[in-house]
Chains A and B, each alone.
Chain A
Amino acid sequence: MSELCPPFAPFFGFAGVASAMVFSTVGAAYGTSKAGIGITGLGTFKPELLMKSLIPVVMSGIIAVYGLVVSVLIAGGLSPQIEYSLYAGFIHLAAGLSCGFTGLAAGYAIGIVGDACVRAYVYESRIFVTMVLILIFAEVLGLYGLIVALILNTRTSGLDGVCSL
């Protein structure tokens, strides 16, 4: 094993896989639960508005899907047969962390905004468009992390033969 490809390099790669899934799921869980509190409150007054008020929950699910896709993407590039440099390990760690923590932030925002907006939607129906707009902006935060993760992951493709340098 050379200096550039130590045996502990895959640790960072797998840490990236795990952190992408774990942190974005924590964000999605917070978003689902916080919005769910408001939705059950709304459901006791106006059950006909339930389908529209479930939009924050669907958006939290999409944050978790972002984490899932990045995890699968990074894990696909890890294998015991290929030469895995420490540089590639750090790239994968950065990709996983960027997707994970932005997913956490996005899920947090979706939860709080979803809760407040569905509570207000009981009284004023024009809040719906505002709610969807704010939720889209909150979700795009997770999308930015995913874009950075994708761009980082492409940097591992040109690293063949680095272990024998």
Chain B
Amino acid sequence: MSIQAASARIAEHTVIGGVLAKLALFSLMLALGPISTFYGVKWYITEDTNLAAIGAIVVANLILVAYILVAINEDKEDQRQLQQAKEKLETRKTQ
């Protein structure tokens, strides 16, 4: 596909392609994850509240790391598509 089409696709992909769903999913995970981990550890694993708090904080930071990785991978995917479109244009020019 042409470069313009690839760029347009990237911009469209931001709005449609499940980006909104990803953001909603991460917001939900961040809202529910740590507090459910806190009570889950407190009720089912150990009565020690400090361990429960540490578990909740670890879960919150894991969600953050997962978000950063998802964002980087999505950008890498878009860059790869753009690169492919550029290469196709180059090969067509030299022919």
Q: Which residues of A contact B (CB under 8 A)?
A: 47-52, 54-55, 58-59, 61-62, 65-66, 68-70, 72-73, 76-77, 132, 143, 146, 150, 153-154
Contacts and interface: CB of A to CB of B under 8 A. Distances in A.
Interface in B37-73: 38, 42, 49-50, 52-54, 56-57, 60-61, 63-64, 67-68, 70-72
A62 B61 contact: yes
A132 B78 CA distance: 20
Chain B contact residues: helix, strand, loop or mixed: helix
B23 interface: yes
Contact of B11 (A48, A55, A62, A72): A48
B35 A72 contact: yes
A58 B15 contact: no
B15 A47 contact: yes
Contacts of B24: none
A48 B30 contact: no
Given A62-B61, A65-B60, A51 B50 contact: no
B34 A69 contact: yes
A59 B15 CA distance: 23
Contacts of A59: 64
A66 B11 CA distance: 35
B52 to A, nearest CB: 8
A48 B78 contact: yes
Contacts of A150: 50, 53-54
B53 A73 contact: yes
Contacts of A76: 42, 49
A160 B34 CA distance: 30
A35 B92 CA distance: 43
B46 to A, nearest CB: 14
Interface string B1-40: 0000000001101110001001100110010001100100
